[in-house]
């Protein structure tokens, strides 16, 4: 199949960027979207043009590295898939495909389609963990955990930290990502104890990083490759509310 | 070069305890004075960095991804072993130890392997305390499954995402220390050389992948946790960034490379579609619990699977290995698949595939049960191939997956270069010639959470180390070397992309040094590799500059190292004239095509010493003493 | 920063304040709308009701103060959140799709502004009584009929009710999420309640200008 790509090119952070058009001819429908870009890059290299920079690593939808805005949808049109799991058979011969980086103040562009998501790491560093050090912990079966609790936790824990929620949100809000972590740890007996501190600290950092607020649009959930449920956001709101009323300093 | 494995004496079961008692401790007040540099933030690196920081050391940790959470460990699906015996099915530390030694075809070190089994128990406790949401039963207890040829249920798992959940646990522990300021994290940073001063590893030279700046990180010791080198085959189940660069540079600075020819080929991956393909996707081995592997009995049978009657199908694993059937170990089932496809009985477009059929399982257990067990895997398969495994059998084929070989380490996980410690898949230690399923995650975490934090203390307590100025000649020189090598890649300015060379090398290695190897093929490869390498340095084209974010440049550097390393790999495979585990030499097999070991001449570790660019490497030997197990012939019939 | 300051300083805190102040107003419009329906019973009915409301001053001013306070914080929170949201994406997408969000949710801002304009005019017209020369403090019914029979005033009221409908459709659903009602069991209930409120209240309100415009009420 033959396609036309409109791709965002930008030398480096802070420099001016622009959309550039490239042909992508005789592409096989079996290819993954990123393999299609590999081919385009190979050809650019042959013509002495610098290849398009984009992030990817595992190429099987688990590392969260790939991050492309495809035709105005993070990770493209398919539900519950990351960019690297998208295949060309979902496009039509002759299509024009618009490819952009995640756009958010908190995710500055590094080059072309590559952005800096270290804001997410700083949110986790602010309290996205259970405060135990190595050693001196009880036996794994000492504390029983109801299966459905473990499942709820696992549903939230499957977040791959890709940032599509931020990219999709009209407010560039990081609520779904933050809520997923708060839920993953907060429902488990091991993580409950720190639940309130965690909510306060994560939200504080989230705001510092310059993400927007949540208007409950629901775009994040629709774009999320792991389909993290919106309930997690309600849970974060509740934990935050409870933490605030119960916190000593008023 | 001396190869003292420093194994504590005394009975196997007491060695580790005894070691911990005998080791020297660092006075808590002095810990802050020591700085350790950890390269890699996978299960091994992240757990090591976090734990050492908890103990009070100052730690710097680097990785090439944009976040420490994305290390390749994240991709592990199946699970992690531990000798908890929660299922009361007769498991024990000793059984896990024995299974691992036997699974490794008696080419591993008893003491290390036993320690691994011993520690496995504590790992699960640790992960649960961190909030890893392992699968549970309705009673609230942890669930287990049996995995990769084990006859006990000792594998803990979190859906199909065990590696992800374990890594997030370690990542969060690491993040906690970064938040405290105890660990400095450097993502998008690639290690390109080791700084050696007075014969000790005292730091690393890195390239900042965003700015392109070359700089050094200096400290009292260096830990490499940089993973495996399966990408030497170009196509593998590893993430695209996985490389041999870090370990290869260390090798060239004096760390011996052990058993590079031990590579594991995973039997259940999605077959290759075309030559644009960038990686192979693993389908969890657990599929083999219910799927039946078969090919047409007749050659060149191109009928659709449904049109092939039962009588004309060959369920070759069940036929050859009645007792283990479809659950035969990885190396065995992989090789069996190669045999049938070599006979021209393979399925799929290019004949490079075999069927994994769930029809019987669905008939027996019902579609719902199968969906519950493998739903996400079936979905993944369908997404990639556009075929529905509920109605047509899956097509699978073996793919490079794991590398047992790695830098040589002693019992302390220190390489032959003093001060340089190697953990996780990057070292050679615990799996012998073949790794059992669900044992790599276990090893990474054992090394990182429990072993290196102790042995590092012992090293620092015993070793007088004076501080190093950043303008020390050795530092300056190493930085200059790195800068020059990087610039050279840009200066060639030829016509071919680095990828095209990688693809060429990968195909060669897969053919000549892959699932099955033979003398002629290996010699041929040893001829070709230097030619491809020369071609690379004559004709590679890398655009852009060194002083900017340049993915083509990163890639080229890694390919250049694979082009050197692959030669050592073939050499090792050529010298080891026996078949064992992941290393199968066609000359050494029984009439029925079973691997035959040569314990008399090869019950040892082959460790290679670098001896300069233009002289061939030296092969050293660490004999393996088996005091607790007797070398049985590994039979799964 | 401690307690209250930190709470209102955070995006979630502001959002919760909006939800609570929003509820106050939701409550008010429900009561207000019901009261208006008395107009169908006849002039005296609604006039008496209005008189009763004004008779007990504490109740009257209590409500007014509560409403004003609620409106002020509601608007302040809404405004500062919107400012933040604008800053959070300095470079716009060349192409952006909204597969999931409702039009109502995306119209909250402008809908709100329209509501504000409406409110100001509305109060000046029917409570303070400075818009038209003829205004009676006792004959609420008379005021209504005489003013809303002017087609463009009636139309303005109707447009405002559309804004209100949208605001309630998203707002009432969103409230639950904001204050942390997680139980999935109530998901559908939330939607139903919001939809009902968003239909009943505006329609109830709108029926009056319509009735007047079509001369059914005179
Ligand atoms: C698809 C797949 C499934 C698997 N499933 C299982 C399973 O079910 N059970 C099991 O036990 N094992 C499994 N394995 C094996 C297991 O996942 C790996 O062996 C293990 O995770 C390796 O961990 P590690 O910490 O040693 O290295 P990695 O996780 O690979 O981490 C390497 C780290 O080093 C960094 N790094 C590498 N090179 C450089 C450099 N030059 N400069 C700076 N940083 C560098 C990387 O950024 C990364 O942070 C699986 C492997 C694959 C590929
Ligand atoms: C008059 C000026 C008003 C303005 C400018 C305004 C503005 C807004 C905005 C912008 C939002 C969305 C905020 C966000 O989620 O980011 C909102 C939410 C809301 N508004 Fe208003 N509004 C106004 C009046 C009203 C009135 C009169 C009512 C009730 C009848 C109301 C009820 C609500 C409710 C219930 C919400 C939902 C809060 C939440 O999402 O949790 N608002 N308002
Ligand atoms: C067609 C729709 C409406 C009609 C016919 C209407 C009618 C009236 C009337 C007659 C009064 C004066 C009552 C009196 O003086 O006792 C009034 C007051 C008021 N209305 Fe409305 N109204 C409508 C819609 C709304 C809406 C949608 C809101 C809010 C969002 C609103 C808020 C108010 C307020 C705040 C007052 C002042 C109450 C007070 O005296 O404190 N009205 N309305
Ligand atoms: S919540 Fe979903 S979209 Fe957001 S980072 Fe996690 S996986 Fe990505
Ligand atoms: S799209 Fe944005 S507004 Fe909230 S619900 Fe999702 S974060
Ligand atoms: S590349 Fe890892 S998730 Fe897409």
Which structure tokens are listed for B276? 């644009």
What pLDDT score does B363 carry?
A: 94
User: Nearest-CA distance from C160 to chain A in Å?
Assistant: 22
The DSSP symbol for B434 reads S
Q: Report residue C65's pLDDT band, with 50, 70 and 90 as the boundaries.
A: very high
Q: Is A72 on the interface with C (CB under 8 A)?
A: yes
Residue B507 has a pLDDT of 95
pLDDT in tens, B566-617: 999 999 999 999 999 999 999 999 887 788 999 999 999 999 999 999 899 9
Instruction: Label residues B313-337 b or e (16+ Cβ within 10 Å = b).
Output: bbbbbeebbeebbbbbbbbbbbbbb
Query: What pLDDT is stored for residue C63 in this prediction?
Result: 96
Per cent of chain C over pLDDT 90 is: 89
Q: Under a CB-based contact definition with an 8 Å cutoff, are residues B413 and B447 in contact?
A: yes
Q: Which residues of B touch A127 (CB under 8 A)?
A: 179
Asked if B386 reaches chain A (Cβ–Cβ under 8 Å), the answer is: yes
Whether pLDDT at B380 is above 90: no
Distances from the Cα of B63 to the Cα of A55, A142, B108, B225, B554, angstroms: 15, 35, 29, 10, 13
Residue A92 tokens read as: 């039509």
In this structure, are residues A38 and A84 in contact, taking their beta carbons and an 8 Å threshold? no
- Interface check B115 vs A, CB under 8 A: no
Q: Mind listing the pLDDT tens digit for each residue in B68-88?
A: 999 999 999 889 999 999 999
According to the model, what pLDDT value does residue B429 have? 87
A174 in contact with chain C, both atoms CB, cutoff 8 A: no
DSSP A151-182: HHHHHHHT-----HHHHH-TT-B-HHHHHHHH
**Which chains are within 8 Å of B by 3+ CB pairs?**
A
Report which ligand 3 atom has the smallest distance to the Cα of C209: 1
Ligand 6 binding pocket includes A110 (Cβ within 6 Å): no
Residue B86 has a pLDDT of 97
User: For residue A74, which atom of ligand 4 is closest to its CA?
Assistant: 3
Is any ligand 3 atom within 6 A of the Cβ of residue C64? yes
Q: Measure in Å the smallest separation between the Cα of B15 and chain A Cα atoms.
A: 20
Task: Name the token pair of A198.
Answer: 């965690």
Give tens-digit pLDDT for B6-54: 999 999 999 999 999 999 999 999 999 999 999 999 999 999 999 999 9
Per DSSP, the three-state class of B190 is strand
User: pLDDT by residue (tens digit) across B169-211?
Assistant: 999 999 999 999 999 999 999 999 999 999 999 999 999 999 9
Distance in angstroms (rounded) separating the CA atoms of residues B281 and C17: 49
Task: Return the half-sphere exposure (C-beta side, CA atoms, 13 A cut-off) of residue C125.
Answer: 17
Structural element, H or E, at residue B197 = strand B189-197
Which among A39, A50, A62 is the nearest to B164, CB-wise? A62
Q: What percent of chain A has pLDDT over 90?
A: 97
Helix (H, G, I), strand (E, B) or coil at B618: strand
CA distance B297 to A238: 62
Distance B337 CA to ligand 6 centre (A): 29
Tokens 């600290």 appear where? A201
User: Is the Cβ of A110 closer than 8 Å to some Cβ of chain C?
Assistant: no
Whether A217 and C106 lie within 8 Å, measured CB to CB: yes
- Phi, psi of B607, rounded to the nearest 5 degrees: -115, 125
Residues 388-407 of B with CB under 8 A from A: none
Residue A35 CB less than 6 A away from ligand 6: no
Average pLDDT, chain C: 94
Contact flag A34-B278 (C-beta cutoff 8 Å): yes
CA distance B238 to B522: 24
pLDDT at B150: 79
Phi and psi based region of residue B566 (left: phi greater than 0; alpha: psi -120 to 50; beta: remaining): alpha
CA neighbor of A222 nearest in space, from A167, A179, A155, A157:
A167
* B457 C-alpha to ligand 6 centroid (Å): 37
Stretch B97-106: mean pLDDT: 94
Indicate if the pLDDT at residue C36 is higher than 80: yes
For position B505, what pLDDT does the model report? 98
Residue of A19, A211, A238 with shortest CB distance to C182: A238
Q: Does residue A120 have its Cβ closer than 6 Å to ligand 4? A: no
Low-confidence ranges of chain A (pLDDT < 50): 250
pLDDT at B513 over 70: yes
Average pLDDT over residues B514-543: 97
Confidence of residue C102 (pLDDT cuts 50, 70, 90): very high
> How far apart are the CA of B637 and the nearest CA of chain A, in angstroms?
35
Q: Do A158 and B541 count as a contact with CB atoms less than 8 A apart?
A: no
ipTM of this complex: 0.96
Nearest Cα neighbor of A66 from A89, A86, A91 is A86
Residue B167 clears pLDDT 70, i.e. is over it: yes
Chains B and A touch (3+ CB pairs under 8 A): yes
Contact A217 C100 (CB under 8 A): yes
Q: For ligand 5, atom 2, name the residue with the nearest CA.
A: A169
Contact between chains at A117 and B67 (C-beta distance less than 8 A): yes
- In this prediction, residue B636 has a pLDDT band, given cuts at 50, 70 and 90, of low
Instruction: Give partners of A (≥3 CB pairs < 8 A).
Output: B, C
Residue B289: the pLDDT is 85
How does pLDDT run across B331-370, given as a tens digit for each residue?
888 989 988 998 999 999 889 999 999 999 999 999 999 9
Average pLDDT of every residue of chain B: 95
Q: Cα separation of B327 and B291, whole Å?
A: 10
**Residue-level pLDDT at A249:** 60
At B2, the pLDDT band (50, 70, 90 cuts) reads confident
A73, A103, A240 ranked by CB distance to C89: nearest: A103
């Amino acid at each position: 199949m033959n396609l036309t790509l409109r791709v965002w090119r930008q030398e480096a952070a802070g420099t001016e960027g622009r959309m550039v058009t490239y042909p992508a001819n005789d592409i096989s429908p079996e290819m993954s979207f990123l393999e299609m870009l590999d081919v385009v890059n190979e050809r650019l290299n042959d013509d002495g043009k610098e290849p398009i920079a984009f992030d990817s690593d595992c190429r099987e939808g688990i590392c969260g590295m790939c991050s492309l805005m495809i035709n105005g949808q993070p990770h493209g049109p398919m539900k519950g898939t990351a960019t690297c799991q998208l295949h060309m058979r979902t496009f039509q011969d002759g299509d024009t495909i618009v490819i952009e980086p995640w756009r958010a103040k908190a995710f500055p562009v590094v080059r072309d389609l590559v952005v800096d998501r270290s804001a997410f790491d700083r949110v986790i560093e602010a309290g996205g963990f259970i405060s135990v050090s190595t050693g001196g912990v009880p036996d794994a079966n000492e504390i029983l955990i109801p299966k459905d609790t473990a499942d709820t936790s696992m549903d939230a824990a499957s977040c791959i930290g890709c940032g599509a929620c931020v990219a999709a949100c009209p407010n560039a809000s990081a609520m779904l990502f933050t809520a997923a972590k708060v839920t993953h740890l907060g429902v488990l007996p091991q993580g409950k104890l720190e639940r309130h501190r965690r909510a306060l600290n994560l939200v504080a950092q989230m705001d510092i990083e310059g993400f927007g607020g949540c208007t409950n649009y629901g775009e994040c959930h629709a774009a999320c490759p792991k389909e993290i449920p919106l309930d997690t956001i309600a849970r974060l709101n509740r934990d935050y509310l409870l933490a605030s009323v119960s916190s000593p300093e008023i | 070069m001396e190869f003292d494995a420093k194994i504590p004496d005394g009975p196997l079961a007491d060695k580790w305890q005894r070691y911990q008692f005998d080791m020297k401790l660092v006075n808590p007040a002095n810990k802050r004075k020591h700085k350790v540099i950890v390269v890699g933030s996978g299960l091994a690196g992240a757990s090591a960095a976090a734990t050492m920081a908890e103990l009070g050391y100052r730690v710097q940790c680097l990785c090439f991804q944009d976040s420490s959470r994305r290390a390749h460990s994240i991709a592990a699906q199946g699970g992690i072993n531990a000798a908890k015996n929660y299922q009361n099915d007769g498991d024990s530390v000793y059984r896990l130890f024995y299974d691992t030694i036997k699974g490794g075809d008696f080419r591993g070190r008893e003491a290390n392997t036993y320690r691994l089994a011993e520690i496995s128990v504590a790992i699960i406790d640790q992960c649960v305390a961190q909030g890893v949401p392992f699968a549970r039963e309705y009673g609230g207890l942890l669930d287990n499954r049996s995995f990769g040829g084990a006859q006990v249920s000792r594998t803990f798992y979190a859906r199909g995402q065990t590696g992800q959940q374990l890594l997030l646990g370690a990542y969060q522990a690491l993040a906690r220390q970064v938040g405290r300021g105890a660990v400095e994290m450097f993502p998008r940073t690639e290690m390109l050389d080791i700084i050696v001063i007075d014969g000790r590893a005292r730091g690393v030279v890195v390239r900042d992948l965003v700015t392109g700046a070359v700089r050094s990180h200096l400290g009292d010791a260096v830990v490499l946790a940089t993973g495996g080198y399966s990408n030497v085959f170009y196509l593998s189940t590893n993430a695209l960034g996985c490389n041999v660069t870090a370990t290869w540079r260390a090798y060239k600075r004096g760390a011996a490379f052990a058993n590079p020819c031990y590579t594991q080929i995973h039997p259940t991956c999605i077959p290759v579609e075309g030559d644009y393909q960038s990686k192979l996707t693993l389908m969890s081995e657990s599929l083999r619990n219910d799927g039946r592997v078969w090919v047409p009995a007749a050659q060149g049978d191109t009928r659709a699977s449904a049109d092939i009657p039962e009588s004309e199908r060959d369920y070759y694993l069940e036929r050859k290995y009645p007792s283990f059937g479809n659950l035969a170990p990885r190396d065995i089932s992989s090789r069996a698949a190669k045999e049938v496809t070599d006979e021209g009985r393979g399925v799929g477009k290019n004949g490079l595939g075999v069927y994994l059929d769930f029809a019987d399982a669905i008939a027996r257990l019902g579609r719902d049960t199968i969906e519950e067990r493998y739903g996400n895997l079936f979905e993944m398969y369908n997404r990639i191939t556009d075929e529905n495994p509920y109605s047509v059998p899956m097509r699978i084929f073996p793919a490079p997956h794991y590398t047992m070989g790695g830098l040589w380490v002693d019992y302390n996980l220190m390489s032959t270069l003093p001060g340089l410690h190697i953990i996780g898949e990057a070292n050679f230690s615990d799996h012998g010639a073949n790794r059992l399923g669900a044992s790599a995650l276990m090893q990474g975490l054992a090394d990182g959470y429990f072993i290196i934090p102790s042995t590092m203390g012992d090293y620092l307590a015993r070793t007088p180390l004076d501080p190093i100025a950043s303008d020390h000649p050795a530092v300056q020189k190493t930085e200059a070397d790195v800068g020059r090598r990087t610039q050279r890649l840009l200066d060639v300015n030829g016509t071919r992309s680095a990828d095209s060379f990688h693809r060429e090398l990968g195909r060669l290695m897969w053919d000549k040094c892959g699932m099955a190897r033979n003398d002629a093929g290996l010699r041929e490869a040893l001829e070709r590799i230097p030619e491809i390498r020369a071609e690379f340095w004559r004709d590679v084209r890398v655009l852009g500059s060194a002083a900017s974010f340049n993915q083509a440049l990163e890639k080229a550097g890694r390919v250049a190292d694979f082009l050197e390393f692959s030669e050592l790999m073939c050499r090792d495979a050529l010298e080891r004239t026996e078949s064992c585990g992941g290393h199968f030499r066609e000359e050494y097999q029984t009439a029925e095509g079973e691997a035959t070991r040569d314990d008399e001449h090869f019950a040892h570790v082959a460790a290679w010493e670098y001896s300069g660019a233009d002289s061939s490497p030296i092969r050293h030997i660490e004999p393996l003493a088996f005091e607790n197990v007797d070398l049985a012939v590994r039979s799964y019939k | 920063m401690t307690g209250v300051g930190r709470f209102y300083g955070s995006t979630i805190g502001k959002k919760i304040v909006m939800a609570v102040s929003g509820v106050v107003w939701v409550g008010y419009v429900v009561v207000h709308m019901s009261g208006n329906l008395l107009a169908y019973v006849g002039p005296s009915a609604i006039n008496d009701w209005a008189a009763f409301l004004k008779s007990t001053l504490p109740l009257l001013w209590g409500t007014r103060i509560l409403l004003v306070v609620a409106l002020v914080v509601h608007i302040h929170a809404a405004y500062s959140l919107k400012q933040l949201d604008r800053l959070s994406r300095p470079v716009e997408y060349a192409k952006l799709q909204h597969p999931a969000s409702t039009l109502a949710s995306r119209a909250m801002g402008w809908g709100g502004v329209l509501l504000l304009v409406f409110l100001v005019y509305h109060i000046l017209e029917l409570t303070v009584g400075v818009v038209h020369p003829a205004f009676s403090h006792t004959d609420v019914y008379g005021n209504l009929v005489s003013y809303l029979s002017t087609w463009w005033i009636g139309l303005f009221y109707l447009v405002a009710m559309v804004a209100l409908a949208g605001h309630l459709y998203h707002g009432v659903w969103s409230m639950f999420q904001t204050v942390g009602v997680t139980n999935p069991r109530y998901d559908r209930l939330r939607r139903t309640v919001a939809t009902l409120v968003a239909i009943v209240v505006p329609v109830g309100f709108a029926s009056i200008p319509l009735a007047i415009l079509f001369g059914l009420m005179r």
